[in-house]
Structure 1
Amino acid sequence: MDRFYRGVETGVLGLSFCLGLAAFAVLAGPPREADALAVTLPMLSVTTGATP
């Protein structure tokens, strides 16, 4: 059973690596045209209270 879980884990790691390389290749490519679809996500800001 340990081999099965290790195989699944290795497969998921390989998939995430390939998706990361694909994202890098897309972002590193030439800029897209101005009329292309753009998706913008809001920034997440985390602040803490002031310490005395």
Structure 2
Amino acid sequence: MPNDQDDTLWRIDGETGAVVETIATGPNPAVVAGAEGDVWLSVYEGGEIWRIRPR
């Protein structure tokens, strides 16, 4: 889940709802999508798209 308050992406445990990992991003992370086992994140102000491979 993107958190634009502190420019991070949270990995959330689907069973407990707890944040299990915090990833620093560029300014204003916006949209997250899943595809082919990866997570894609747009960083609005940085004009970037990040590909994140979950463990």
**Pairwise same-fold verdict (TM > 0.5):** no
> Structure 1 length as normaliser, TM-score?
0.19
Higher relative contact order (CA 8 A, sep 6+): 2
Q: As a proportion of its length, which structure holds more helix?
A: 1
TM-score normalized by structure 2? 0.19
Q: Which of the pair has more CA radius of gyration? A: 1
